[in-house]
Structure 1
Amino acid sequence: MKAAEATKTVAVIVAYNREVLLRKCLDALGEQSSPLTAVIVVDNASTDGTGKVVDTHPVVTDPVHLAQNTGGAGGFAAGIAYAQTHYPQAEWVWIMDDDTVPEPTALAELLKAESAYPGKPALLASKAVWHDGSEHPMNRPRPRVGLAGKLRVHAQQAGAIPVRSASFVSILVRKSEISRIGLPCAAYFLWNDDFEFTARLLKNRVGLYVPASVVKHLTLKLGDSQADPGPRFRFEVRNKLWLFSRHNPFHIWEYPLYFGSSVRRWGKTFKASENRPVLFAAFKAGIKESLTAPKSNREVFADSVALPWIEAADD
């Protein structure tokens, strides 16, 4: 076990029109047993009182206001870029949605697992539960397939499970690894940006799921990505096709495994849909949009206050 050391952790939260939930998230960050170096909150051009919460909550050290809603993907790209450029000495970036409420020991348990692991994990993910305490199916990390037994034993000794990807609901990412692989792809706007980013990150690195680190993911409904998304299904289809055709987050042998899983998931989504014509129209729109390459982060933020951070983090 590595010796316990004081760590410098910067939290990055993306907020959009969830004033009440954001306040709960920030209150919980203020109660963490392990101290935070900074709390960066990206207000994605909210139209409710979210901006005021960002500016006035005592936990927030760095309020960031974007003039346009860039979606979760753009918000996290901007927030992570801000952390990379404004906190060069930080060791970790703790990423979460604005409807995430971490338990007081959530961060401490992630750091404890990292300290107990005989190596340098690139990412550690919390266990996300719903209002009633049941595990949230939307945020179960994908397990690592084909991992050497020795590495699985190392993870077990740290109270963790090896994973291949994770969601942005609560992950702790080693800051030096972000410098190595770059930022999330802002052009995704919504959905699968976390899948692409964490799969790219963990292609040749260790990621750990830490059940002792618990956060509440306060979605309106308890469900996963198979729930009927309606017109927004185009983001799921477009982004998955971009992920498989435009990016390189997998080893060759993993592509059929994850593409096949996506196709099966789409089939289940259609089967469960109560409005298949809308879903089919979104499916066709997603395919059509995927034929054009996604814009670069610099293009997405060309007229944004975030452009200097994006450029600096990309260099």
Structure 2
Amino acid sequence: MNARGKDGIAVRFGKMSKTAAVVVTWNRKDMLRQCLDCIIGQQGADCDVLVIDNASTDGTYDMVTADYAVPRVHYLDTGDNLGGAGGFMCGIEAAVTMGYDRIWIMDDDCFPNPTALAELLKADEELGGRWGFLCSAIYWTDGEICKFNRPKKDAFRHVDERDYRRKLVPVKMTSFVSAMFRAEVVREVGLPIAEYFIWTDDYEYTGRISKLHPSYAVSASKVAHAMRANARPSLATEDISRIGRFYYLSRNDVHCYRQHGAIGYAYLVAKTVYTAVDILLHARSGRGGRLYQLVQGTVDGFAFDPSVRHVNPNNHRIAR
């Protein structure tokens, strides 16, 4: 392993893969271990690995440095919990700055099939590198198609099983559960918006890319997403102690989809009305608090205007 403890990443000497897998983690070392084993066990293609740790306190650093002390695995502690958005911003910037051509990103609860990477790179070759992002087909742990975090054909329509009968499915957005980017596209469009913290940062970023470059879901590249349940998070039924997270979803959705014109605004209206009705009909407690997260996030989304950062080759987090 080439890392400077918790201070940054050091570029190793010697042969370097052209592809880096970027994994963002926070206090889920057992899931991270399974994710890393899946990446290291890829067949027909290889990659280096960048573990982006959002200041875990569960022994993640000790586990990675003890059990994955090999040249292809690098470790970076962000120093704080930056959320998924901040973690992916740091990880993608690190990978581009270190000189990787292809950046394959995922959360720590993403478990790629053995040929997931090879299929993405095969599609890359067949497309002649003329694409903005590629993404995998996402399934739940029981083999059923994932009901959350699927690629989207537009604001309203997700990719479904019928679409996956095609080799390549044109898409406009995808989650960060196994997505691949070209370094030159990252330099062109900038980085994910760290201020999103959680939720919708993936759709905003990939939507930004697909406005400029055709992008595809690669049906033969498959991953499992180990969510607690195969269902979309629901503000109406979420534990009352966790409803504050949904503020970010409402705020970020407004910022993201208002950039997509009439169809984006139509989506926002439909989703906001649906969520409000769902709360009124199905929430067993805390209806007022749940509606507050929805309304306040939606209102704040219209004033939310974070700037897009671009890759900084002199980023102090990265040891050259």
TM tier relative to shorter chain: 0.7 to 0.9
Alpha-carbon deviation of 1:13? 0.7
Q: Which amino acid aligns with 2:244?
A: P
Residue of structure 2 in register with 1:286 after alignment:
297
Residues 162, 28 of structure 1: CA spacing in aligned structure 2 closer, same or farther, 3 A cutoff? same
Residue of structure 1 in register with 2:86 after alignment:
74
CA distance in structure 2 between the aligned counterparts of 1:85 and 1:34, rounded to whole angstroms: 26
Residue of structure 2 in register with 1:237 after alignment:
250
What SS is found at the alignment partner of 2:170? strand
Residues 310, 36 of structure 1: CA spacing in aligned structure 2 closer, same or farther, 3 A cutoff? farther
Q: Is the 8 A contact 2:107 2:176 kept in 1?
A: yes
After TM superposition, list the pairs within 5 Å mapping 1:125-274 onto structure 2.
125-144=135-154, 159-226=167-234, 228-229=237-238, 230-245=243-258, 248=259, 250=260, 252-263=261-272, 266-267=275-276, 269-270=278-279, 271-274=281-284
Residue of structure 1 in register with 2:73 after alignment:
61
CA distance in structure 2 between the aligned counterparts of 1:258 and 1:70, rounded to whole angstroms: 28
CA distance in structure 2 between the aligned counterparts of 1:138 and 1:192, rounded to whole angstroms: 12
Alpha-carbon deviation of 1:28? 0.7
Residue of structure 1 in register with 2:104 after alignment:
94
Alpha-carbon deviation of 1:85? 1.0
Q: Which amino acid aligns with 1:240?
A: D
CA distance in structure 1 between the aligned counterparts of 2:313 and 2:27, rounded to whole angstroms: 23
Q: Is the 8 A contact 1:78 1:310 kept in 2?
A: no
Q: Is the 8 A contact 1:10 1:93 kept in 2?
A: yes
After TM superposition, list the pairs within 5 Å mapping 1:28-67 onto structure 2.
28-56=38-66, 57-58=68-69, 61-67=73-79
Q: Is the 8 A contact 2:257 2:265 kept in 1?
A: no
Alpha-carbon deviation of 1:177? 0.8
Alpha-carbon deviation of 1:293? 3.3
**1:103 maps to 2:113:** yes
CA distance in structure 1 between the aligned counterparts of 2:185 and 2:254, rounded to whole angstroms: 25
Residues 178, 143 of structure 1: CA spacing in aligned structure 2 closer, same or farther, 3 A cutoff? same
Q: Which region of structure 1 is more displaced relative to structure 2, 129-138 or 255-264?
A: 255-264
Residues 205, 291 of structure 1: CA spacing in aligned structure 2 closer, same or farther, 3 A cutoff? closer
| Structure with more of its chain in helix, by fraction | 1
Q: Is the 8 A contact 2:190 2:308 kept in 1?
A: no
CA distance in structure 2 between the aligned counterparts of 1:221 and 1:14, rounded to whole angstroms: 20
Q: Is the 8 A contact 1:44 1:67 kept in 2?
A: yes
Residues 198, 274 of structure 1: CA spacing in aligned structure 2 closer, same or farther, 3 A cutoff? farther
CA distance in structure 1 between the aligned counterparts of 2:83 and 2:192, rounded to whole angstroms: 12
Residues 31, 125 of structure 1: CA spacing in aligned structure 2 closer, same or farther, 3 A cutoff? same
Q: Is the 8 A contact 1:244 1:259 kept in 2?
A: yes
Unaligned runs of 5+ in 2: 1-16, 156-162
Unaligned runs of 5+ in 1: 1-6, 146-154, 299-305
Q: Which region of structure 1 is more displaced relative to structure 2, 65-74 or 273-282?
A: 273-282
Q: Is the 8 A contact 2:85 2:201 kept in 1?
A: yes
CA distance in structure 2 between the aligned counterparts of 1:260 and 1:119, rounded to whole angstroms: 37
CA distance in structure 2 between the aligned counterparts of 1:295 and 1:213, rounded to whole angstroms: 33
Residues 220, 156 of structure 1: CA spacing in aligned structure 2 closer, same or farther, 3 A cutoff? closer
TM-score (norm 1): 0.80
Q: Which region of structure 1 is more displaced relative to structure 2, 259-268 or 217-226?
A: 259-268
Q: Which amino acid aligns with 2:111?
A: V
CA distance in structure 1 between the aligned counterparts of 2:165 and 2:199, rounded to whole angstroms: 33
Residue of structure 2 in register with 1:150 after alignment:
none
Deviations 1:254-279 (A, max 9, x none): 43344345335534653443332231
Q: Which amino acid aligns with 1:93?
A: I
Deviations 1:10-36 (A, max 9, x none): 111100011100000001111111443
Residue of structure 2 in register with 1:309 after alignment:
315
Q: Which residue of 103, 108, 123 corresponds with 1:113?
A: 123
CA distance in structure 2 between the aligned counterparts of 1:101 and 1:74, rounded to whole angstroms: 21
Q: Is the 8 A contact 1:188 1:294 kept in 2?
A: no
Residues 140, 269 of structure 1: CA spacing in aligned structure 2 closer, same or farther, 3 A cutoff? farther
TM-score (norm 2): 0.79
RMSD in angstroms over aligned alpha carbons?
Answer: 2.9
What SS is found at the alignment partner of 1:72? helix
